[in-house]
């Protein structure tokens, strides 16, 4: 089923009655997402696109068996809504909302710690398993089903790179937007691990960007625990120091968080890093050919079963 999301996943939309919630619910349904309920406090009993709306997440879980939730909730309400969803037993939460206070994000993450739940975001474009389902705002027509896993810190750039891959006949197993803030709920190595263990993924593409240490931390996992090949691109090589480049997490402090630091770290563990987005296609293609040429026993082919 690729990772985290399939056509069977029973999806709840929190904040379904807002402008973005309504429009995205329509598009997620059209794509094939199994949306079973919506929640907006005080709007229980209504319907959006034929989907029943409840006042609480617990009702949506009990009445409709919701197991995953995508958020179109305003920033100030995200913390309460997330704690409610965790409490109600939701197993996957995708927070699309931008500008969630950092302290709230830290609290949500602390609250979820040790529980059997996966959260993505904040400021995540969502997650899509092409041909099956999507949670979030990714435009379905940019993606095709296939065997490349994509992990991205950015939204629109993930669309573009997936579309570049699709145009070259390289479909995706799942594309995950991990979120663009300084504090995200799920770090890159955890997502790499999911793809490493996924029989439907042969290779993983990382779409990184300047700021933070996600890519640097990922190299440890790649070096020691990952057999599948990884290809990467890091946006922001020409970004100046000390400026937030449109994402809360995309800021270079001195030598920390530079493109060079990330590219060097990734290359040291054998990751091929594209100079420009479109070059990813060529690197992926060449790598897949090499994997097929070596049928047995080497690290290169362990991804293909």
Partner 1 sequence: MRLYEFEGSALFRQEGIAVPDYAVTASPQEARQKAQEIGLPVIIKAQILVGGRGLAGGVQTADSLEQVGEVVHRILDRPIKGFPVHRVMVAQKVEVEREFYLGVTVDGYSGTPMVILSAGGGVSIEEVARIHPEQVASRQIPITKGLSLSEAQEMAQEVGLEQEELEQVASTLHILYDVFRKYDALVTEINPLVRTSKGRYLAVDAKVEVDDASLYRHPDFQVALEDRILNALERKGHQIGVTYVDLHGQIGIIASGAGLGMASMDIINQRFRPANFLETGGAISAELLYKIMDLVLQKKGLKGIFINLYGGINPIHDGARGIVSYIREHKITIPIVAKVLGNRQEETWEILKQQGITVVTEVATEKAVEQLAQLLEGEK
Enumerate the active-site residues: 247
Query: For strand 145-152 and strand 133-136, is the pairing parallel, antiparallel, or unpaired?
Result: unpaired
Query: For strand 230-235 and strand 145-152, is the pairing parallel, antiparallel, or unpaired?
Result: unpaired
Among 62, 80, 106, 294, binds partner 1 (CB under 8 A): 106
Question: Between 250 and 266, whose beta carbon lies closer to partner 1?
Answer: 250
Positive or negative: CA dihedral 23, 122, 128, 62: negative
Question: Between 64 and 153, whose beta carbon lies closer to partner 1?
Answer: 153
- Told to check if 102 binds partner 1 by CB under 8 A, we report yes
- Told to check if 269 binds partner 1 by CB under 8 A, we report no
Distance between CA 3 and CA 148 in Å, rounded? 11
- Told to check if 101 binds partner 1 by CB under 8 A, we report yes
Write out the two tokens for 296.
């047995």
123-162 mask for partner 1 (x: CB under 8 A)?
--------------x-x--x---------xxxxxxxxx--
Write out the two tokens for 9.
């996943």
Question: Between 149 and 303, whose beta carbon lies closer to partner 1?
Answer: 149
- Told to check if 75 binds partner 1 by CB under 8 A, we report yes
182-201 mask for partner 1 (x: CB under 8 A)?
xxxx-x--------------
Region for residue 242 given its phi and psi (left: phi exceeds 0; alpha: psi -120 to 50; beta: otherwise): left
Least gap, CB of 30 to partner 1 (angstroms): 12
CB 129 within 8 A of CB 2: yes
Only one residue has tokens 């479109």, namely: 278
Question: Between 60 and 135, whose beta carbon lies closer to partner 1?
Answer: 135
At 59 the three-state DSSP class reads helix
Span 48-67, contacts to partner 1 by CB under 8 A? none
- Told to check if 103 binds partner 1 by CB under 8 A, we report yes
Distance between CA 54 and CA 57 in Å, rounded? 7
CB within 8 Å of 49: residues ≥ 6 apart: 22, 25, 26, 29
- Told to check if 247 binds partner 1 by CB under 8 A, we report yes
* 149 sits in which H/E element: strand 145-152
Task: Cite the beta strand spans of 46-183 per DSSP E.
Answer: 47-48, 51-54, 68-71, 92-95, 118-120, 126-129, 133-136, 145-152, 172-177
- Told to check if 210 binds partner 1 by CB under 8 A, we report yes
Question: What are the angstrom distances between the C-alpha of 63 and each of 21, 44, 66?
Answer: 21, 12, 8
- Told to check if 114 binds partner 1 by CB under 8 A, we report no
- Told to check if 262 binds partner 1 by CB under 8 A, we report no
Question: Between 264 and 298, whose beta carbon lies closer to partner 1?
Answer: 264
Judged by the rule CB under 8 A, the positions of this chain that interact with partner 1 are 19-20, 23-24, 27, 75-76, 98-107, 109-111, 137, 139, 142, 152-160, 163-164, 167, 180, 182-185, 187, 207, 209-210, 212-214, 217, 233, 235-240, 243-250, 276-278
């Amino acid at each position: 089923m690729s990772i985290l999301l399939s056509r069977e996943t029973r999806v709840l939309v929190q904040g379904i009655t807002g402008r973005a919630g309504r429009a995205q619910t329509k598009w997620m349904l059209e794509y094939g997402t199994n949306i079973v309920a919506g929640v907006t406090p005080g709007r229980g009993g209504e319907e959006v696109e034929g989907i029943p709306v409840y006042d609480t997440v617990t009702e949506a879980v009990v009445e409709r068996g919701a197991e995953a939730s995508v958020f179109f909730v305003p920033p100030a309400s995200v913390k309460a809504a997330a704690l409610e969803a965790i409490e109600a037993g939701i197993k996957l939460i995708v927070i699309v909302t931008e500008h969630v206070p950092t302290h709230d994000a830290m609290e949500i993450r602390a609250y979820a710690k040790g529980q059997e739940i996966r959260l993505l975001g904040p400021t995540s474009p969502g997650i899509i398993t092409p041909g099956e389902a999507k949670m979030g705002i990714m435009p379905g027509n940019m993606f095709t089903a296939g065997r490349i896993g994509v992990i991205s810190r950015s939204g629109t750039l993930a669309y573009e790179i997936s579309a570049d891959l699709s145009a070259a006949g390289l479909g995706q197993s799942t594309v995950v937007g991990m979120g663009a803030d300084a504090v995200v709920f799920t770090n890159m190595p955890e997502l790499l691990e999911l793809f490493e263990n996924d029989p439907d993924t042969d290779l993983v593409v990382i779409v990184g960007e300047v700021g933070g240490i996600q890519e640097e931390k990922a190299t440890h996992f790649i070096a020691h625990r990952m057999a599948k090949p990884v290809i990467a691109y890091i946006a922001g090589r020409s970004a100046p120091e000390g400026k937030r480049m449109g994402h809360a997490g995309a800021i270079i402090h001195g030598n920390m968080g530079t493109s060079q630091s990330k590219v060097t770290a990734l290359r040291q563990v054998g990751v091929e890093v594209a100079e420009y987005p479109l070059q990813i296609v060529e690197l992926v293609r060449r790598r897949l050919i090499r994997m097929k040429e070596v049928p047995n026993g080497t690290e290169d082919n362990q991804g293909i079963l």
